[in-house]
C-alpha cells in the first residue's frame, strides 16, 4: 500500500512557510508516514530548479526520490480565474506530470501566455476547458484534478463561484477529468449523495502550506499499485488500485458549516435557509458552507452508500489530539515531547493512528490520550463544526 499526499506547496507559494524545502518535506514525510509526496509548485522556475537539484528519477518510472529514498511525484496547483455564463469563476486544479521533460514543456507553454514566476500557485485567465485542452496538447498523461472541489471561493462546486456539474465547467473536455479532490470540508459520504459524481473517483490530499505533520498528510490517498507514475495515473483514472482515502472529519474543515466568522455565526444548512443565508448580526450574505452546497445539489438522501466505492477513514492529526489533551499550543515543547515519544516507539504517525497496540499506547502516554487515539481510529471524536475560514474544534 502506498500512502500518498499529492497536493502540497513550496516556499514560493503565497501564504506558505518560507522554510519549505524538499529536505524538510522529506524529513516530515517520513515522520508522518507518507510514502509518496507531491513536489508541489513545479510551475515556479526557482522551485522547479530546487526539485531538479534535490531529486532523481527512479529509472523511467515517473517517480523521483531523495538520497535517503523519500519518493515524490511531480505536481502543482494552478488557479483559473475567468468569466463563464455571465459569472466570474475561480477554479483551482491539481496538475500531475510524468517527468521533468513534460514539466519543462508545460512551463514553456504557460510562460509564453502568462507569468509563472510570481507565485508557486499561479493565476491564469483561461477557462477550465481551455486549460484542459492546453495540457492535453502537451501530453496525454497530464492529469487534472479539481482541487478541494467544494470550498466556497475556489472549488469547482463552491458556493461563491462554482458550477453545478463537471460538464458545466469543462464542457466537451469533461472526458479528461477522472477524479476530484474531496477537500477537508467534505468526505466521500457527502459526495456519494450526488449521482452525477458516480463516474469520477474521489481522492484526498492535504493542500499543505507547511511541512508540519499536522498539515502534511492530514488527508491522503492510499494506492494498491506499483510505485510508478503510469500505475498511479491508471488508478486515478479507472479506480482500479485506488484502495482508500484518509479524511479528516469534514466538520474539522474551514468551510463545513455556513457562517460569518467576524460575527461569530456558524450554523447548519437548515438554520441558514431559515435566515435566507443572511447574517442575523450584520445583515450581509453568509458564506455558504460545503454541507449546504452539497445538499443543494444532492439527489440522494443522507446516509446513501455508493456500491463498490473505495473505503475511507476519518482521522484527526495526532498533534491536534495531544494538544487538546494537554491544553497546550500545537507547536509547544510539551506537545512535541509526547509526539516524539510516540514516533520513537511506533515509527511514524500513521502507524500510531492506525495500528499501534492499545495497551502499549496506554503504558506509554496514559489512559486519557490512549482512549482518544483509539476513538480517533474509529472516527468517534466529536467535532464542533468549522465555517467561513475557521477550522472546526475537537470536543472532549
Domain containing residue 10: CATH number: 3.20.20.140
∠ CA 145-5-249, nearest 5°, is 90
pLDDT at 396: 86
Please tell me whether residues 32 and 121 are part of one structural domain: yes
The DSSP secondary-structure symbol of 356 reads: -
Residue 305 lies in a domain: no
Coil vs helix vs strand at 311: strand
Q: Give the tens place of pLDDT for each residue, 159-209.
A: 999 999 999 999 999 999 999 999 999 999 999 999 999 999 999 999 999
- pTM value surpassing 0.85: yes
Residue 274 lies in a domain: no
Q: How far apart are CA 396 and CA 383, in angstroms?
A: 9
Please tell me whether residues 28 and 171 are part of one structural domain: yes
Please tell me whether residues 334 and 217 are part of one structural domain: no
Strand 2-5 and strand 36-38: the pairing is parallel
pLDDT at 194: 98
Please tell me whether residues 229 and 325 are part of one structural domain: no
Please tell me whether residues 6 and 149 are part of one structural domain: yes
Please tell me whether residues 321 and 219 are part of one structural domain: no
Q: Give the tens place of pLDDT for each residue, 43-79.
A: 999 999 999 999 999 999 999 999 999 999 999 999 9
Q: Give the tens place of pLDDT for each residue, 309-329.
A: 999 999 999 999 999 999 999
Residue 298 lies in a domain: no
Residue 300 lies in a domain: no
Please tell me whether residues 180 and 324 are part of one structural domain: no
Q: How far apart are CA 124 and CA 300, in angstroms?
A: 35
Q: Is residue 344 pLDDT above 90, yes or no?
A: yes
Handedness of CA 242, 243, 247, 249 (dihedral sign): positive
Give the residues across from 245 on adjacent strands. 221, 312
Mean pLDDT, range 97-124, rounded to an integer: 97
Please tell me whether residues 41 and 139 are part of one structural domain: yes
Q: Give the tens place of pLDDT for each residue, 242-255.
A: 999 999 999 999 99
Q: Is residue 20 pLDDT above 90, yes or no?
A: yes
Q: How far apart are CA 287 and CA 148, in angstroms?
A: 16
Mean pLDDT, range 328-341, rounded to an integer: 98
Please tell me whether residues 234 and 356 are part of one structural domain: no
Residue 386 lies in a domain: no
The DSSP secondary-structure symbol of 390 reads: B
Residue 143 lies in a domain: yes
Length of the chain: 396
pLDDT at 130: 98
Looking at the structure of the chain, the number of domains it has is 2
Exposed, middle or buried: residue 17 (CB in 10 Å: 0-12, 13-18, 19+)?
middle
Mean pLDDT, range 270-284, rounded to an integer: 95
pLDDT at 126: 98
Please tell me whether residues 111 and 247 are part of one structural domain: yes
Average pLDDT, the chain: 97
- Last residue within a domain, chosen from 228, 251, 274: 251
Domain interval for residue 326: 317-380
Strand 123-124 and strand 393-395: the pairing is unpaired
pLDDT at 362: 97
Amino acid at each position: 500500500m502506498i500512502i500518498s499526499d499529492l497536493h502540497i506547496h513550496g516556499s514560493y507559494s503565497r501564504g506558505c512557510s518560507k522554510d519549505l524545502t524538499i529536505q524538510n518535506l522529506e524529513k516530515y514525510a517520513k515522520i508522518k508516514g507518507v510514502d509518496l509526496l507531491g513536489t508541489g509548485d513545479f510551475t515556479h522556475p526557482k522551485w522547479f530548479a530546487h526539485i531538479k537539484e534535490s531529486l532523481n528519477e527512479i529509472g523511467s518510472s515517473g517517480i523521483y526520490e531523495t538520497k535517503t529514498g523519500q519518493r515524490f511525484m511531480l505536481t502543482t496547483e494552478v488557479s483559473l480565474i475567468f468569466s463563464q455564463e455571465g459569472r466570474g469563476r475561480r477554479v483551482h486544479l491539481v496538475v500531475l506530470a510524468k517527468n521533468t521533460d513534460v514539466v519543462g514543456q508545460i512551463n514553456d507553454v504557460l510562460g509564453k501566455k502568462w507569468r509563472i514566476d510570481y507565485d508557486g500557485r499561479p493565476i491564469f485567465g483561461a477557462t477550465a476547458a481551455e486549460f484542459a485542452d492546453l495540457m492535453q496538447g502537451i501530453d496525454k498523461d497530464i492529469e487534472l484534478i479539481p482541487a478541494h472541489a467544494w470550498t466556497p471561493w475556489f472549488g469547482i462546486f463552491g458556493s461563491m463561484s462554482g458550477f453545478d456539474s463537471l460538464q458545466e465547467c469543462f464542457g466537451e473536455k469533461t472526458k479528461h477529468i477522472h477524479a476530484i479532490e474531496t477537500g477537508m470540508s467534505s468526505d466521500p459520504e457527502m459526495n456519494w449523495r450526488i449521482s452525477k459524481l458516480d463516474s469520477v473517483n474521489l481522492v484526498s490530499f492535504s493542500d499543505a502550506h507547511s511541512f508540519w505533520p499536522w498539515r502534511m498528510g492530514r488527508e491522503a490517498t492510499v494506492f494498491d499499485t506499483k510505485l510508478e507514475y503510469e500505475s498511479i495515473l491508471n488508478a486515478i483514472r479507472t479506480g482500479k488500485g485506488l484502495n482508500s482515502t484518509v479524511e479528516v472529519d469534514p466538520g474539522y474543515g474551514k468551510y463545513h458549516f455556513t457562517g460569518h466568522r467576524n460575527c461569530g455565526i456558524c450554523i447548519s444548512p437548515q438554520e441558514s435557509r431559515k435566515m435566507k443565508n443572511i447574517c442575523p448580526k450584520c445583515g450581509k450574505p453568509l458564506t455558504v458552507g460545503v454541507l449546504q452546497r452539497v445538499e443543494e445539489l444532492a439527489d440522494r438522501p443522507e446516509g446513501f452508500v455508493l456500491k463498490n466505492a473505495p473505503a475511507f477513514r476519518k482521522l484527526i492529526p495526532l498533534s491536534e489530539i495531544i494538544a487538546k489533551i494537554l491544553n497546550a499550543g500545537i507547536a509547544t515543547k510539551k506537545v512535541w515531547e509526547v509526539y516524539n515519544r510516540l514516533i520513537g516507539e511506533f515509527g511514524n504517525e500513521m502507524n500510531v493512528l492506525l495500528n499501534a497496540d492499545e495497551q502499549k499506547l496506554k503504558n506509554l502516554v496514559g489512559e486519557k490520550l490512549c482512549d482518544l487515539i483509539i476513538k480517533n481510529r474509529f472516527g468517534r471524536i466529536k467535532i464542533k463544526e468549522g465555517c467561513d475560514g475557521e477550522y472546526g474544534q475537537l470536543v472532549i
